[in-house]
Amino acid sequence: MAIELKTPEDIEKMRAVGRLAAVQLEMIEEYIKPGVSTGELDRICHNYTVDVQNAIPAPLNYHGFPKSICASVNHVVCHGIPSDEKILKDGDIVNIDVTLIKDGFHGDTSKTFYIGKPSILAKRLVSNCKESLYRGIRVVRPGAQLGDIGSAIQTYVEKNRFSIVREYCGHGIGKIFHDEPQVLHYGNPHTGIELKAGMTFTIEPMINAGKPGVRLLRDQWTVVTKDHKLTAQWEHTILVTETGYEILTHRNDDTIERCG
């Protein structure tokens, strides 16, 4: 099936919801410190989404997911379920992944935060993952192909001897949370679907310090590294423009330009 191109009206709505998702990650930063539980972070985000942003937290009840955000600590790759029992401590890293629905459209973004003082490995891993996302984004323009994005990410990550999770990928996004196409974080240049202005999708590399293998816990959501080593993730929702890209979930702390 052909990939949906957004109309100018759709794009305005994608911009608006992308902005709300970005603001939510900016909002939560000050609460992320030693002693806070991921359950508390979930409650803060939920209430902010509903009461302040007049939006809907997309994860809540999505295929049965029980909470409003994903909070994935240390060796948790993605889809960590927030819990009052999971208390963040100095030296941890946590990925907070928020997806909002406003006016029928989705905005999806995540960032890995440090709690207190990170280890040297954590700093290297988190910054490699962030840079790999940016390298994938910089490739985006009409005429480029999905394999060009995957290749840009893979080349950078593997050069630094980290590994890429293969089981989960970026995705088309709009009225549907997880739409076509699948955006793989590895691949070969000049392969895959050609990008066209008006496409919107996420790029969300999950990068492991050890081996790439992952395991699903018995809760059927939490994904962990098989070797229990550290893992990081960063995600943006991207629009393909006539000349390149626009990062719909751009934040003030991003070190890449909103448009390119």
| Residue 236 found at the interface with ligand MF3 (CB under 6 A) | no
Backbone angles phi, psi at 53, to 5 degrees: -95, -5
In whole angstroms, the minimum distance from the beta carbon of 226 to Co ion comes to 22
| Residue 65 found at the interface with ligand MF3 (CB under 6 A) | yes
| Residue 235 found at the interface with ligand MF3 (CB under 6 A) | yes
**From 47-55, 56-64, 186-194, 242-250, span contacting ligand MF3 (CB under 6 A):** 56-64
Give residues in contact with Co ion (CB under 5 A). 97, 108, 110, 202, 235
80 vs 187 by CB, closer to ligand MF3: 80
| Residue 70 found at the interface with ligand MF3 (CB under 6 A) | yes
In whole angstroms, the minimum distance from the beta carbon of 159 to Co ion comes to 25
Angle at 31 between CA 28 and CA 32, to 5 degrees: 90
**Residue 47, CB-side half-sphere exposure with 13 Å CA sphere:** 6
Q: In what order do the strands lie in the sheet with 231-233?
A: 163-164, 206-208, 231-233
- The span from the CA of 73 to the CA of 142, in Å, is 36
List for the chain the helix, strand, coil content (%; round to 5): 30, 25, 45
Backbone angles phi, psi at 36, to 5 degrees: -85, 145
Question: With CB cut-offs between 5 and 8 Å by kind, which of ligand MF3, Co ion, none does residue 62 bind?
Answer: ligand MF3
State the number of binding residues for ligand MF3 (CB under 6 A): 11
Interface with ligand MF3 (CB under 6 A):
59, 62-63, 65, 70, 79, 97, 99, 108, 204, 235
